[in-house]
A and B are shown apart, each in its own frame.
Chain A
Amino acid sequence: MSVAQSDAELAKDALGGSEAAYRELVTRYATPAVNFIHRFTRDRALAEDLAQEGFLRVYQRLKTYDAERKFSSWFFQVLRNITIDYLRVNRLPTSSLDALEEEGHRAAVIDRESASPEQAAEQSELAVVMSAALAKIRPEYREVVVLRYQEGLTQPEIAEILGMPSGTVKTYLHRARKELAEILSESGWNTNV
């Protein structure tokens, strides 16, 4: 199997029964999948379980994949549906989500004040702060931010995944960044401006 095979070619081969092609697809998308879901569930084990379900569903529906489309768009659409379905059925209690946010902010403050290398090594300060800020913005904004900045998708690709006009994605991104910036500024991070 060629290293330079595209996702669409791998999907085609996997549909034809190639285990190696499917394995390569899973290898390529395992980390993005888990990270994408983790942003919404904030539970690593659950994110892995849902990602596993996502990969299985993708395998089951490879026949419906249109090679004209970008594989990543189709893949994230499947993941998104699985995550939304899960969150709808098993609503995470608001209190626990708030608690996580509080925990995130507290950790960031402790980290900044103490500046202990050991603590910093345990958990990236930036990751904690951004995670807490992301948890505070509207879910539809969070979704767009994660797809754009974490997964590196383009605005048209995000529009395709979310089923909304590209202009709306652009607006959401702009508003989401503004909200994130405000949250971080209020937390005392905007020292230069």
Chain B
Amino acid sequence: MSRTIRDRNMDRKQLEQWLAEEASGRDEAADAACAHLFTALPKVDPNPAFVEQAVTAALRWRTRRRRLVACAWAATILLVAVGVALVFLGAPRIATSVIKGFAFVSGRAVPWLLAYTTVAMSWWLTLGHVGGVIASALITPGRVVAVVGVELFGLLAFYALQRIAGAERLGDAQV
């Protein structure tokens, strides 16, 4: 008997053993038989260069990343150095310009900001006043009782509907 045919017979035996365990309902035995069966299945072997390719790809990525990190550091150091040099060399001029700019902007922005804030405040107060008037007109003991009553009635109606719908679903399930 050739090795292949013997293997085929073993495969069949393992498969039939698992199917028998499965049919008998013995879960653990079926689990073990199935595991045993899978060990007999041939594996797909990756090509011989697979490991080398994976390692090369990882090393390439690492090299690229290191270069990128080095470039980022170099760029940061360069920027900081240029910034420091500029500040050191042009500090008197920059300081003057910054102070002038700040004074110019604040001189125009502050009055505008104050004016808009005042308008917004007045609108807010007006709205508050109107809201207060409406609320005081609506909220009387009789109206509060009416509103609460309507809400309670609505809740009861909703509950009743839910009960009816639930009973219908149960009825369907029983059918």
| Residue ranges of A at the interface with B (Cβ–Cβ < 8 Å) | 17, 19, 22-23, 26-27, 30-31, 33-35, 38, 44, 47-48, 51-52, 55-56, 59-60, 115, 117, 120-121, 124-127, 129-130, 148-150, 152, 173-174, 177-178, 180-181, 184-185, 189-193
| Residue ranges of B at the interface with A (Cβ–Cβ < 8 Å) | 2, 4-5, 7-8, 11-12, 14-16, 18-20, 22-23, 27, 30-31, 34-35, 37-38, 40-47, 50-51, 53-55, 57-59, 61-62
**A193→B44 contact, CB < 8 A:** no
A residues near B51, Cβ cutoff 8 Å: 23, 26-27, 30
| Closest CB pairs A-B (n = 6) | A126-B11, A149-B38, A59-B58, A55-B54, A181-B22, A34-B46
Interface residues of A: mostly helix, strand, loop or mixed?
A: helix
**A34→B50 contact, CB < 8 A:** yes
**A30→B12 contact, CB < 8 A:** no
- State the CA gap A34–B46 with chains docked (Å): 7
A residues near B14, Cβ cutoff 8 Å: 126
Distance to closest chain A CB from B163 (angstroms)? 34
A residues near B43, Cβ cutoff 8 Å: 31, 35
**A19→B55 contact, CB < 8 A:** yes
B residues near A27, Cβ cutoff 8 Å: 51
**B16→A192 contact, CB < 8 A:** yes
B residues near A26, Cβ cutoff 8 Å: 50-51, 54-55
Q: Pick the contact of A23: B7, B11, B41, B55 (CB < 8 A).
A: B55
Q: Pick the contact of B57: A33, A52, A152, A173 (CB < 8 A).
A: A52
- State the CA gap A120–B9 with chains docked (Å): 11
B residues near A126, Cβ cutoff 8 Å: 8, 11-12, 14-15, 37, 40-41
**B45→A31 contact, CB < 8 A:** yes
Distance to closest chain A CB from B69 (angstroms)? 14
Q: Pick the contact of A60: B42, B53, B59, B61 (CB < 8 A).
A: B61
B residues near A185, Cβ cutoff 8 Å: 19
**B44→A120 contact, CB < 8 A:** no
Given A149-B35, A177-B22, CB of A55 within 8 Å of CB of B57: yes
Q: Pick the contact of B19: A34, A47, A152, A181 (CB < 8 A).
A: A181
**A117→B22 contact, CB < 8 A:** no
Q: Tell me which of B2, B27, B34 has the highest count of chain A C-beta atoms within 10 A of its own C-beta.
A: B34
**A52→B8 contact, CB < 8 A:** no
- State the CA gap A126–B40 with chains docked (Å): 8
Given A22-B58, A193-B19, A193-B23, CB of A177 within 8 Å of CB of B31: yes
| Minimal Cβ-Cβ distance residue in A for B19 | A190
A residues near B8, Cβ cutoff 8 Å: 115, 120, 124-126
Q: Tell me which of A26, A47, A126 has the highest count of chain B C-beta atoms within 10 A of its own C-beta.
A: A126
- State the CA gap A130–B34 with chains docked (Å): 11
Distance to closest chain A CB from B38 (angstroms)? 4
Distance to closest chain A CB from B97 (angstroms)? 46
Distance to closest chain B CB from A157 (angstroms)? 14
Q: Pick the contact of A181: B2, B11, B23, B58 (CB < 8 A).
A: B23
**B38→A127 contact, CB < 8 A:** no
